[in-house]
A = this chain, B = another copy of it.
Amino acid sequence: MKLATLKNARRDGQLVVVSRDLSRCVAVPEIAFTMQQLLDNWADLSPKAEAVYDALNRDTVDGEQAFDQAQCESPLPRAYQWADGSAYVNHVELVRKARHSEMPPSFWTDPLMYQGGSDDFIGPRDAIVASSTDYGIDFEGEIAVITDDVPMAITPEDALNKIRLVMLVNDVSLRGLIPNELAKGFGFFQSKPSSSFSPVAVTPEELGDHWQEGKLHLPLLSTYNGKLFGKPNAGVDMTFNFGQLIAHAAKTRRLGAGAVIGSGTVSNKQGTEHGSTVEEGGVGYSCIAEIRMIETIRDGKPVTQFMQFGDTIRMEVLDEQGQSLFGAIDQQVIEYKS
């Protein structure tokens, strides 16, 4: 099943069921008005939504409309939980080298995860608004899942069965603010502004063979200012799968239905020390910080700038037939005006 949330005059938007090919959609107010309502009652309501999904894929249905990704909120416009892991340890290693900070060996066995803010996600086509490019604005392409209720101390294996939906996420980071925040010891806050998610959230079942062992086995395409910047496979070099990430988040507490758990920036080693760019024949990267690190290693200093006002970033996952599975995040950076 594929689901999305259309913008309307309300904070939580309008839940719609989306056709497999992303061409059409239909609101289902008789089932749930919002994505959170559906997640709050998933066991009862999702079979009804699945029935609408099947009907929509077979034929036209009453009330259907063209599906316009530009009218989408993130699938959850606001959520009660957003916890972001760093499962692609290659990325962590690179970013820490860029900060001249050693990576402890435990990072290969104990997942890194930060508690994100979830009260104000922005839509997949909404602008990334920042007060200054001095903040070091960077995109970060990731996979995320939405869970059902998760009991405390769940095992990684059982946690895999709590995944209800899969999405893409652009977890924007303000790199210039990170060193000071991390030095304070309380983690990220100002350095992590509002994230955006793909227009469409997809059930693991719908992903078929592309979803195996709690990982999405397809390339995440990041296109920066119209040029392909990265195509790493999200199923490769993911040290911790989503079951492990959820279990980590739930070690000392329950997670409520609708909790969003992120993978961290998708990154492939490609059999080299740290991967290589698309131009060099590699799979490239899902954030600017990684290429700056490569430049530092190779040339002594980074030359690629972080994002400037007017820059655009597009993120998408295509199947083997070139069909977009989640729709595309496509955002422009603009200057904040009070």
Contact = CB atoms under 8 A, between A and B. Distances in A.
Nearest to A106: B184
Given A116-B115, A184-B112, A187-B114, A252 B83 contact: no
Interface string A254-270: 11111100000000000
A119 B80 contact: yes
Contacts of A11: 40, 256-257
Interface residues of A, number: 57
A104 to B, nearest CB: 7
Contact of A187 (B151, B187, B190): B187
A43 interface: no
A274 to B, nearest CB: 20
A164 to B, nearest CB: 14
Contacts of A257: 11
B186 A117 contact: no
A251 interface: yes
Given A115-B116, A119-B256, A187-B186, A78 B78 contact: no
A131 B293 CA distance: 41
Interface of A: 11, 40, 78-81, 83, 86, 101, 104, 106-107, 110, 112-120, 129-131, 135, 151-153, 174, 177, 182-194, 248-249, 251-259, 336, 338
